[in-house]
Amino acid sequence: MPEQTTPPTIHLLGVPVQEGTHEKGCLMGPDALRTAGLLDTLEGLGFDCMDHGNLSPDPIPAMPPQKGNALQFETIAGWTRSLAQKAYELAKSGFPLFMGGDHSLAMGSVAGIARHAADEGRELFVLWLDAHTDFNTPLTSESGNMHGMSVAAFCGLPELSSLYAAPLDHPVNPAQVHMMGIRSIDRKERDLLRRHHVKINDMRVLDEMGVIRPLMELIDEVKSRDAMLHVSLDVDFLDPEIAPAVGTTVPGGATLREAHLIMELLHESGCVTSLDLVELNPFLDHRGKTAELLTDLTASLFGRTIFDRPTRRPGPRHRGI
């Protein structure tokens, strides 16, 4: 098979949802990334980019009361249904890049990408870069904030099925969700994570063995199964000293160098086919520091390096970046 020579078109989509979190301000995240020069940076790397503006949620008729604790359920359902359809459409013709917005957006983005992967006859893996596992349901959540339920939703847990227009035909296999940087898990959430075999590399794992080994284990598995890989990057994956613009700060996150190394290795893998950038709250930022950091990390994912070096060539069905 000939080597891919034309890079995919990058489809940027703003998703200004903030109802999934208690801290207001994430609705400004997409425009902060634009202001930080995300589109210009990607075009400077040689990519064709299309900015599709900001998404709006679907109108949702009144829903019956939900069991348990889930704040703004109807509003999140509107965002989820709208984004799941849009993500599916964008994935057909390039690389979707979703600019958040809080992490509840992944309920829609990942569901839409999983549907596209199924059309392609491929599996979908998810790399979840976050301080939190976000595997709560309304029956386990202590806060009721729905950005803490995203993974449980796109993995098809029935307590969250009514977020979608219909139960998911192609939920992500929880065993194909790999989490890195975890350092905060709710008590009841632990049981769900064990029961569903989610792969978790918390900060102790990264402290003991670094980021390369667990990341390469994921990449090798994705390649061996000719799968697609969605990356979901939450600002609180990073240490708040370098990325303060998030309402859910947890000390002890990834360093600047660790984060760039992850992105560089992902680029070299050729496996990544879609990306979330979430929880950027410009109201909490310092002179755009966090928005600029996310832009720089995205540039590393798309191939920007300090010095040119040989890259690992993707397999014959490569469709990522």
Cα-atom radius of gyration of the chain, to the nearest Å? Answer: 18
Q: List per-block mean pLDDT (blocks of 10 residues) for the chain, which spans 321 residues.
A: 68 98 95 97 97 96 87 97 98 97 98 98 98 96 96 97 96 98 93 97 90 97 98 96 87 93 97 98 94 97 74 48 78
The answer to whether residues 211 and 205 touch, using CB atoms and an 8 Å cutoff, is: no
CA gap 198, 195 in Å, rounded:
8
Residue 210: what pLDDT? 92
Residue 306: what pLDDT? 66
The DSSP-derived string for 270-306 is: T-EEEEEEE---GGG-STTHHHHHHHHHHHHHTT--S
Nearest to 200 by CA among 212, 220, 183, 186: 183
| Lateral strand order in the sheet of 49-54 | 49-54, 10-15, 95-100, 272-278, 228-234, 124-129, 177-182, 199-202
* Number of Cβ atoms within 10 Å of the Cβ of 167: 12
CB-based contacts of 230: which residues, under 8 Å, 6+ apart? 109, 110, 113, 124, 125, 126, 127, 272, 273, 274, 275, 276
* Number of Cβ atoms within 10 Å of the Cβ of 302: 22
Give burial (CB, 10 Å; 0-12/13-18/19+) of 318.
Answer: middle
The answer to whether residues 85 and 14 touch, using CB atoms and an 8 Å cutoff, is: no
Residue 251: what pLDDT? 87
CA gap 151, 161 in Å, rounded:
12
CA gap 132, 147 in Å, rounded:
10
CA gap 200, 176 in Å, rounded:
11
For 145, 185, 254, 270, the CA distances from 203, given in Å and listed in that order, are: 23, 12, 8, 25
Indicate the length of the chain as a whole number. 321
Residue 312: what pLDDT? 45
pTM of full prediction above 0.75: yes
For 20, 128, 151, 234, the CA distances from 239, given in Å and listed in that order, are: 22, 16, 22, 11
Backbone φ and ψ of 84, nearest 5°: -60, -40
Residue 93: what pLDDT? 95
Question: Which residues carry out catalysis?
Answer: 103, 130, 132, 134, 147, 234, 236, 279
Three-class DSSP category at 171: coil
Residue 21: what pLDDT? 96
